[in-house]
A and B are shown apart, each in its own frame.
Chain A
Amino acid sequence: MAHPAPRHLPFNAVAWTIAAFLIAALPHLAAMPPWLAGFIVGACAWRLVVARNRGSRPPALLRLLLTGMAIALIVLAFGGLWGRRTATALLCVMLAAKMMEMFSMRDLRLVASVSFFLIATQFLFSEKLIYLGYLVVGSLTATIALVRIQDIHGRPAGAAPVAQAAAVRNGAVLLLMAMPVALTLFVLFPRLAQPLWGLPDQVLDGRTGLSDDMSPGSISNLFLDDSPAFRVEFEGRPPPPDERYWRGPVLWNFDGSTWTSPFSGDAPRRRFVPEGEAARHYSIQLEPHERRWLFALDYPVRAPDNATVTVDHQLLNRHPITALTRYELVSNPDFVDMPTLPDGARSLALRLPDGRNPRTLELAAELRQRHPDDRELIAAVLRWFREEEFFYTLSAAPLGRHGADEFLFDLRSGYCEYYASAFAILMRAAGIPTRIVTGYQGGLWQGGSDYLLVRQSDAHAWTEVWLQGSGWTRVDPTAAVSPDRIEQGSGSVIERPGAVFNFDWLAQLRNRYDRIQHLWNRWVLGFDHDRQRDFLQRLGLPDLTPERIAVLMLLVLLIVTAPINYFLLRQARPARRTPAERAWHGMLGRLRRLNLAKHPAETPLEFAARVEAALPQQGAAFRSLAEMYCRIHYGDRAGHEAAFLAQARHFSPRKA
């Protein structure tokens, strides 16, 4: 071999580095296909065994082959879709492949420091409170690994490595000392008011939340998802429960099975919406859902920064929501949407696919004959829903080609999407312009009435019909069937599969945890450009430019690091003397007054001999004291100390 054989890295350093990597990669591993995670864990285990047995790196060809295989695995697992999950999985796999050639200090350091990066990327997926623990444990392990790695090189040849406990303590102290700087930067580092670049949509790989289309049966698993969708804080009186409709995507097009948004659905709203008298002021903290839409009560007066209002009064953010986002809104519930309906919109809102749902069309014609008035017709249908045997259930069967027929005449049980879809088809067939609105409905008060928590399970779909004189008007057919769903929230109607665990105390615990999570979201995660400005304003620093905030940050950094600097750079005080040493030096002082000074180079016994010669009477006593002192100082301290102290105190030399 041309290059020298690699030096064996100590097992300790390798183990800590791998631990740091595995802890940082843990959430990523959990999100991967198991065999990919298995590959990564296997590579780590292999490296540990090799470190234990002082083996060497595998041949280059094998390394290349394994790495190629791992990348092929990723392509297989993610189907070539380039998203954040793919990117982090690739990073994990590359690091696992690095394990195979991690035979120098530099490689170890690389893996340990990329662990920090892995930790940071996890927060792109979730910033829940529990991940604070992950952050702490992960960075602590990575820091200890770095300390261990430094010890490989920075230790004299032949010296024993730093003890495990000392390395852990050093790492912990390093991390603790980093905290003042980290927290100062966190509070004062100027935040961006607007992102520098947006995420291309295809980077996102979707997760729970509403989708931008609706086919009855598709979102049923959403109702079992208890994770928070968003939280709302109201200024002033909150709206009554039956007005808590959080507007999301508005669907116009129906192809027979699926409702979708029209092509022009993203067009900005041209109409001015006044605040009105019943304006509602509130702020929403939206959990990241990787879509662009924001939710609002009807009808938002103006869009938050970086967002627009569409013609359908939906809020669209400029970029997908990838982090907890807070925005403030004013809604005017009394606004009349489209007092006159343009022809284009009317035909769009009446269109139905041909050859579908013949029985529904028949029913619509029949209803139309009986009730020429739109409002009466709607009331009749809702009455029919309420009085006939219609049920609200989440375990509904999927629908076939004539979905509305099956639902209205045969099944008669389903959830909001079934009702909304069937109702909209019926209305359109009866000649009433109708569109479907998806979003969330309801929400639970948390902590008394601090804030309203809307969960994914509160996802809902309802309809809007256009009526002469009142424009687009919300009609919720589900409310007719299951008023509880609207009054008390989704929790009241859902029989969960795991109902055994649905105890009250558990629910309370969950609510309490959500309260902490809310505070966490509000004060830590939601600390953005605006919050930072508010915070500084409250400190009496009005409207600082980012440059000024940066200067302030540097100043505060200097102040908070001063104690650390002092602690690190102070001169150590001489070690405190033991009582025996104090007594001994007291005697020396008394002898010095008799011109009997101990030379620095003299041992106690040598000095005692000199004292014995100079002071014949007390010399012997001093000699025995000096012997005791030596025994205490170099031998066992226990037995002699008390006697020595007592005798030494009474020793007063006198010139003969």
Chain B
Amino acid sequence: MDSARSASGQPSQGLPRRWFNAWIVRRGPTRPPLTLRYRQIFILPTRFGWLLGALMFAMLMGSLNFNNNLGLLTTFIVAGLGSNSMLIAYRNLEGLRILRTGAAPVFAGQSALLLVSLAGNAGRPRPGLEVALDDNEQIVSIPANGVSEVQLPLPTHHRGWLQPGRCRVQTCQPVGLFRAWSWFWPERPILVWPRPATNPPPLPEGGGRREGQLDQPQADGDEFYSLRKWREGDPLHRVAWKASQRHDTLLARELRRPRSRHLALDLAQTPGQDLEQRIGVLTAWVLTAHQQQRAWTLRLGPETLGPGRDDAHLQRCLRALAEFQ
């Protein structure tokens, strides 16, 4: 997975961040499927939590100073609310199962939709879970013993395998004083196909045949190929009467089946210098060929795929194009 780029677009992350991620990974499983336990759940006050904390401190100092017991009681009720809300935020995540993540391949430049399936395990509903990847955040509530899914859009820029970065699942329930969160990494990278060129040159029609690949004449075709001496068994309608007259011997038309020449799409044929541009053109060709339901072979350096014309072939080609170095 070394070649995979992180979703945040920075191929190399700072050392502290790498250390931090490594520390998270050491604490417990971080790739789905996983169940969140206390070692993976972090909790801190939100900004509102800090504000209420400051307010509470002011109330505490004032009430203590004036020995105002009802004021103290109010302060301590707020403190009790705070400590319980910490617990409830934690409980909302504890035992949460992240079943799987996955995304269908997309072309570079499109947004991949990362699907995350979540389920509870303790038979309690889990309202207000925020699942976030970078800046994209989706809110989901899981009914008791149910499964919920969220789709996180993830912008893509380059072809290849995209490893989405750290995802976060967090909650501020019940009153937004504390944020409990946990990190996980999507289990597998997302395939990003090359961006097809917008105005590709026309499909290279001619070059499909090569030495050693000459089409063999076939008797059962219906396209004229050549004339040859009549042999016994040739049907009468194959006899080329006019030509026979000229040559004083019976000649028969030899026919072959019009073998639809498959397209040979080769990286070497694409115009331009820039590899990415050429791969873009090749991708556009592959897509056009598939759209026109024509068979094609794809030649990328030493590797040749096909010929073929079905979806599976298309997928293979696109994947090869995405992975080509």
Interface residues of A (CB under 8 A from B): 106, 109-110, 113-114, 116-117, 119-121, 123-124, 127, 131-132, 135, 139, 143, 146-147, 149-151, 153-157, 159, 170, 174-175, 177-183, 185-186, 189, 191-192, 195-197, 199, 322-325, 524-529, 561, 564-565, 568-575
Contact = CB atoms under 8 A, between A and B. Distances in A.
A146 B175 contact: yes
Nearest to B38: A569
Contacts of B80: 177-182, 185
A180 B171 CA distance: 25
Nearest to A531: B69
Given A116-B78, A120-B71, A572-B144, 20 more contacts: A109-B176, A120-B59, A121-B62, A123-B71, A124-B62, A135-B70, A139-B78, A146-B176, A147-B175, A154-B176, A155-B128, A155-B139, A156-B138, A177-B80, A179-B77, A191-B64, A322-B66, A323-B69, A527-B69, A569-B91
B87 interface: yes
B74 A123 contact: yes
Contacts of A564: 84, 87
B64 A113 contact: no
Given A191-B64, A195-B66, A181 B84 contact: yes
Interface string B47-63: 01001100100110111
Contacts of B65: 192, 195-197
B29 interface: no
Closest 7 CB pairs of A and B: A154-B128, A178-B80, A572-B123, A181-B80, A146-B175, A123-B70, A182-B76
A116 B55 contact: yes
B243 interface: no
Contacts of B81: 143, 174-175, 178
Nearest to A573: B123
A325 B69 CA distance: 11
Contact of A175 (B75, B77, B128): B77
Contacts of A132: 70
25 contacts: A113-B52, A117-B59, A119-B74, A123-B70, A146-B175, A150-B128, A150-B172, A150-B176, A153-B139, A154-B139, A157-B139, A170-B174, A174-B85, A174-B174, A174-B175, A175-B77, A186-B73, A192-B67, A196-B61, A322-B68, A561-B83, A565-B87, A569-B94, A570-B122, A575-B123
Contacts of A178: 77, 79-81, 83-84
DSSP class of A's interface residues: helix, strand, loop or mixed?
helix
Contacts of A195: 65-67
Contacts of B75: 120
A196 B70 contact: no
Q: How large is the interface on B (under 10, 10 to 19, 20 to 34, 35 or more residues)?
A: 35 or more
A154 B52 contact: no
Contacts of A189: 72, 76
Interface string B113-136: 000000001111001101000000
Contact of A181 (B74, B83, B139): B83
A157 B123 CA distance: 24
A157 B48 CA distance: 23
A574 B123 contact: yes
B55 A113 contact: yes
A565 B86 CA distance: 11
B76 A181 contact: yes
A324 B63 CA distance: 12
A185 to B, nearest CB: 4
Contacts of B78: 116, 139
Contacts, number: 180
Given A155-B127, A159-B141, A181-B83, A323 B77 contact: no
A124 B66 contact: yes
B88 interface: yes
Contacts of B61: 196
B48 A109 contact: yes
Contact of B175 (A117, A143, A155, A323): A143
B173 interface: yes
Contacts of B141: 155-156, 159
A127 B70 contact: yes
A653 B160 CA distance: 61
B71 A124 contact: yes
B316 to A, nearest CB: 33
Contacts of A110: 51
Given A143-B81, A147-B175, A156 B64 contact: no
A525 B175 contact: no
A150 B46 CA distance: 12
B140 interface: yes
Interface in B161-197: 171-176
Contacts of B176: 109, 146, 149-150, 153-154
Contacts of A147: 174-175
A106 B171 CA distance: 17
A174 B144 CA distance: 20
A324 to B, nearest CB: 8
Contacts of B71: 120-121, 123-124
Contacts of B73: 135, 182, 186
Contacts of A322: 66, 68
A150 B70 contact: no
A250 B75 CA distance: 40
Residue among B48, B52, B73 with the highest chain A CB neighbour number at 10 A: B73
Contacts of A109: 48, 51, 176
A185 B123 contact: no
Nearest to B85: A174
B84 A177 contact: yes
B55 to A, nearest CB: 5
B211 to A, nearest CB: 58
Contacts of A119: 74
B9 to A, nearest CB: 26
A573 B74 CA distance: 36
Contacts of A123: 63, 68, 70-71, 74
Given A135-B73, A150-B174, A569-B91, A120 B144 contact: no
Contacts of B87: 564-565, 568-569
Contacts of A106: 48
Contacts of A568: 87-88, 91
Contacts of A139: 74, 77-78
Contacts of B77: 116, 135, 139, 175, 178-179, 182
